[in-house]
Amino acid sequence: MKGLIKPSRVRFVNKEIEETFNKLKEGRSEEKEIYKWLVRAFEDIEENAFCGIQIPQRIIPKDYNVTTLFKYDLPKAWRLLYTIETNEILIISVILEWLDHKEYEQRFGY
């Protein structure tokens, strides 16, 4: 998918993830920092749904219940994970979660 540039709309996988994101804006300084990183990531993903690194299908955790998974590297080794849904007209980038490096390694069994 390298070189492919497709605009998309960013959505959250569920209300809980969206509410968690919104709470970051009013949280402690570290949470506000993560909020800013995520806003920037969402802007990049809206500009190009394929800007993240595609995770090989064989290592996608089953609990995500997706066939494609992308990782967007955030500062301080945080990761944003999202999938892409599409129809003939629109590409939707669905935000699944964001996590620090330690949680990411646990989730993917590294």
SS (H, E, C) 43-68: HHHHHCCCCCEECCHHHCCHHHCCCC
In this prediction, residue 3 carries a pLDDT of 60
What is d(CA 13, CA 20) in angstroms, rounded to the nearest whole number?
A: 12
Contact of 84 with 63, CB cutoff 8 Å: no
SS3 15: helix
In this prediction, residue 88 carries a pLDDT of 78
In this prediction, residue 99 carries a pLDDT of 95
For each of the domains in the chain, give its residue range(s) and CATH number, in order of start: 9-108 (3.30.2310.20)
In this prediction, residue 60 carries a pLDDT of 95
What is d(CA 77, CA 34) in angstroms, rounded to the nearest whole number?
A: 11
The pLDDT tens digits for 1-57 are 556 788 999 999 999 999 999 999 999 999 999 999 999 999 999 999 999 999 999
Q: H/E element holding 31?
A: helix 29-47
What is d(CA 82, CA 44) in angstroms, rounded to the nearest whole number?
A: 13
> pTM of the predicted model, to two decimals?
0.90
